[in-house]
Amino acid sequence: MHRLLLLDCLWLLAASPASSIFQRPTGTPAPPRLQYLLEPLHPTVHTQRGATATLPCVLRTLPHNYRVKWSKVEPANYREDVIIITNGLYHKNYGPLSPRVRLRHSHRYDASLTITDVALEDEGRYRCQLVNGLEDESISLTLHLEGVVFPYQPSNGRYKFNYHEAKQACEQQDSRLATYQQLYKAWTEGLDWCNAGWILDGTVHYPIINSREPCGGRLLLPGVRTYGARDKQKDRFDAFCFTSALQGQVYFIRGHLNFKEAGQACRSHGAAIAKVGQLYSAWKFSQLDRCDGGWLADGSVRYPIAVPRERCGGLPDPGVRSFGFPSKEMRTYGTYCFVG
């Protein structure tokens, strides 16, 4: 009798309408139930280029025949790249990160990932997945590099890069194409630029602080304005590049040098002529402040201002000022050198 009553109750529960007490409110996702992995206290890890960073992943318990797999999520390419797999006793590294990653393993429940000599391309989302048959679960963490975004265009004018050329141009200047999050953060910190540029995911944007006629009109609100995804081969724009801290020093050599002499002056001091990204990094992280225009590796002439003043361009905000791309034969400027 009791067994029949129990079966009746289970049938009623299974057949109960959508208004049953077990229904989750519409639009409310099921909360993740982590049985084996601890939820990270801080899902974003902040670091700089050249540093050592650890992404935490700690187990509550050690299930039988488990594995932990670390991977990097690449949303722009719709893929996950495996970095390391471990069963607690042995591990194997994979991919280009292989020489710079290891498991922290400070205790037997610790599967945290340590990345040494952090590079610009390491920024992004990572997944720690416990593989245990039907009970797989995972956590996601973000590695965030502190840095600076700068707009970049070549010597022959604006809107000359397709996506691949923009990507290469940033890499040649000791930087990489910025992500949308990096560009948005730069806008909140004051980046105001009227020319549209490529970012890493293949979309095109421009950040506006002060609405004005040549930049969409005065009626449009400030913001990061977007052209959306564009044809990576055919469409042409500028680039927004991102760089982080330097492992080295940028310094200035006075003189009235042409471009060739500028390079020779740096080499005579055991250095190389600085790249645009290196000058921005020195301005951002070392507060490099000089009122002197100097040659850079791309043939442009720029100078970094940390403390704005009337006789150094007259602009009210700090920044890296540019004289553009003067004739390389001009003997007017000094040079900025980089030594690692």
pLDDT exceeds cutoff 60 at 83: yes
Q: Distance between CA atoms of 133 and 141, rounded to whole angstroms?
A: 23
**What is the per-residue pLDDT for 22?**
31
- In this structure, are residues 131 and 69 in contact, taking their beta carbons and an 8 Å threshold? yes
Give the C-alpha distances (Å, rounded to integers) separating 284 from 7, 146, 243, 281, 323.
Answer: 70, 10, 10, 5, 19
Q: Which stretch of 2-11, 224-233, 237-246, 313-322 has the lowest confidence by average pLDDT?
A: 2-11
pLDDT tens, 267-309? Answer: 999 999 999 999 999 999 999 999 999 999 999 999 999 999 9
- The two structure tokens encoding residue 292: 């002197």
Kind of pairing between the strands at 333-339 and 272-273: antiparallel
DSSP-derived secondary structure letter, 43 = S
Residue 226 pLDDT: 94
Separation of alpha carbons 123 and 120, rounded Å: 6
- What six digits make up the tokens of 285? 């992280």
Whether 35 has a pLDDT exceeding 90, the answer reads: no
Q: Which tens digit of pLDDT belongs to each residue from 182-200?
A: 999 999 999 999 999 999 9
Q: For residue range 258-272, what is the model confidence (pLDDT) as tens digits? A: 999 999 999 999 999
Does 21 or 146 have the greater pLDDT score? 146
Q: What CA–CA distance (Å, rounded) separates 335 from 294?
A: 4
Q: Residue 10: pLDDT above 70?
A: no
pLDDT for the residue numbered 31: 53
User: Which conformational region is residue 202 in: left (phi greater than 0), alpha (psi within -120 to 50 degrees), or beta?
Assistant: left
Q: Which domains does the chain have, with CATH numbers?
A: 37-145 (2.60.40.10), 147-243 (3.10.100.10), 245-339 (3.10.100.10)
| 105-147: pLDDT as tens digits | 999 999 999 999 999 999 999 999 999 877 789 999 999 999 9
* CA atoms of 48 and 119, how far apart (whole Å): 8
Q: Which of 35, 53, 36, 34 is nearest to 45 (CA)?
A: 53
